[in-house]
Amino acid sequence: MSLASIILALVTLQRLGELGLSHHNTRRLLARGAIEAGADHYPLVVSVHTGWLIALWVWGHDQDVNPAALAAYLGLQVLRMWILSALGPRWTTRIIVLPGEPLVVSGPYRYLSHPNYAVVVCEIALLPLALHLPLIALIFTVFNIAALAVRIRVEARTLSSLGHISTP
């Protein structure tokens, strides 16, 4: 098994674990009266991420690994864990808002409105670059930015309608 395959297996397991955590948190939030916004564009987000992983497996499983790009990608995982820690049980892959609860403004949310989205944009570019796949990095970065443009508008509109300010 190549180093690239090991990396892709670990990333795939991480994403599957995060989907499980998201599903658990979503159920708990909805049971507490949270509302979901943007469910109609969620399949687009899932498609972009699924397509990205499939493309990496198809064209990257036997590639050499660029250590600098991989190190940067691993550094992003530290930020990802900080984000998950800051949001705790409110972290999901969907837009789930609990009316009456203040926005999270601790951790990385103290500095950025959407740190998770910034990390994801970087991840989608860096992992393909770590596997010497610049075209995959470009294609999925464009797809992801397009999906995020929709998502961020929906999220901002939802937070605004609930009386929240969408930036910390």
d(CA 87, CA 29): 12
Structural element, H or E, at residue 132: none
CATH code for the domain in which residue 69 is found = 1.20.120.1630
Sign of the C-alpha dihedral, residues 24, 49, 102, 30? negative
Structural domain includes residue 168: no
Is pLDDT of 167 > 60?
A: no
Is pLDDT of 165 > 60?
A: no
pLDDT in tens, 20-66: 999 999 999 999 999 999 999 999 999 999 999 999 999 999 999 99
Structural domain includes residue 166: no
Note the pLDDT of residue 100: 86
Mean pLDDT rounded to a whole number for the chain:
95
| Nearest CA among 46, 50, 69 for reference residue 12 | 50
| Nearest CA among 68, 57, 67 for reference residue 6 | 57
Structural domain includes residue 167: no
The structural domain count of the chain equals: 1
Token output for 24 = 């658990």
Say what percent of the chain tops pLDDT 70. Answer: 97
Range of the domain at 51: 3-161
